[in-house]
A = this chain, B = another copy of it.
Amino acid sequence: MSSKIRLGILGGGGDSLIGVLHRVASSMYDKYQIVGGVFNPNWENNISFAKTLGLSENRVYIDFDAFIEEELKLPVSERIEVVSVLTPNFLHFPMAKKLIENGFHVICEKPLTTTLSEAKTLESALKKANTIFAITYTYTGYPMVRQMREMIQSGVIGDIQKVDIQYYQGWINPILLDKSLRKTIWRLDPEKGGVSCCIGDIGTHAFNMAEYLTGQEVTSILADLNTRYDDNPLDVDGTILIRFSKYVKGVIRASQIATGEENGLEVKIYGSKGGFNWKQENPNYLYHLTDNKPLQVLKPGHAYNGALSLNGTKLPPGHPEGIFDSMGNIYYGVAKAIRNEACDSGEYPTMHDGVRGMKFIEKCVESHKSGNIWLDI
């Protein structure tokens, strides 16, 4: 009998990129066995995709309700234990809620929900159910992000005095330039994309990084968003002033019209004793600055790193691991939590992170619409 955790998947079928990412991630530490799910609303696609994964037909379900109903009929020892929710954003809430209420652990793609109100409802449901819930802010899985968090926690850079997180992409630029294309993508359609495009999609990652790394919560924000064109209803760019406290400030900068940028999540955090620079596109280099010593460049897998970082490196220094490995680390953390093994609070982002993210999005939009004013968060 396999000791692996039985994993179900909702969505992610066919050529879905997010599907590949989660499947590979789940395989990395030999902790999960994918046993079933609903990969596609179309039954034929669903079942044929499941076959490519080598799954038994009887664990592939026609829809989410059937998934719940049938799995609950199985003895606990055979039942799916944790479910990855990779469906479109508006389905995160109803699926996650029902899963939680029926005792399943959940690994949910971001954003948590489409509104803050839904997010809070989900948070309450989780409190009652007491299951494990993770939201995949993937970038927290990088070893050097974790190392930064550990070093900040242990006081290496002293009191935080400045936080600057950037997330610049350019992919929406060619779409936005072409008026006919603009209308065709769901992210720019408020009906489907919700209240925000850029902040909702990537600004939240930057915000999560700010709180994950500092271990502190942002207390207020002032946002200036940009739709670029009169007929484009949703933000594609924004700068958000943030405050942790009266004298600890920062900025979150997000854009999807930073032409030519790929996936430019960049961190700059400064404290009284030192600072850190880190860039997602070169995730294995962590730059540690101080007032009077040479710049230090930390890399994964070295003994000088802390446990949280080292746990997330599989090969010796110099063998670059990437974003699949980062997601793999989050899955690994969730596996530990499910199996009641010791697990650092930095190993996977939680419901709380998801709720904070939704709050951030809504407050940014509100601040912007109110004339760029400060709002508590």
Contact = CB atoms under 8 A, between A and B. Distances in A.
Interface of A: 1-4, 17, 20-21, 23-24, 27-28, 30, 33, 51-55, 157, 161-162, 164, 168-171, 173-174, 177, 222, 224, 226-230, 237, 239, 241, 247, 249-251, 253, 255, 257-264, 268, 270-275, 280-284, 288-299, 302-304, 314-325, 328, 372, 374
B264 A289 contact: no
Contact of A302 (B30, B53, B294, B315): B294
A247 to B, nearest CB: 5
A251 to B, nearest CB: 5
Given A54-B3, A316-B17, A258 B270 contact: yes
A54 B4 contact: yes
Task: Give this chain's copy count.
Answer: 4
Interface centre among A3, A272, A295, A296 (most CB of B within 10 A): A295
A229 to B, nearest CB: 7
A208 B11 CA distance: 41
Contact of A52 (B20, B30, B174, B258): B30
Interface centre among A157, A174, A263, A318 (most CB of B within 10 A): A318
Contacts of A228: 161, 247
Given A161-B228, A288-B294, A260 B247 contact: no
A315 B162 contact: no
Given A164-B253, A262-B299, A280-B318, 4 more contacts: A2-B55, A24-B27, A162-B226, A288-B294
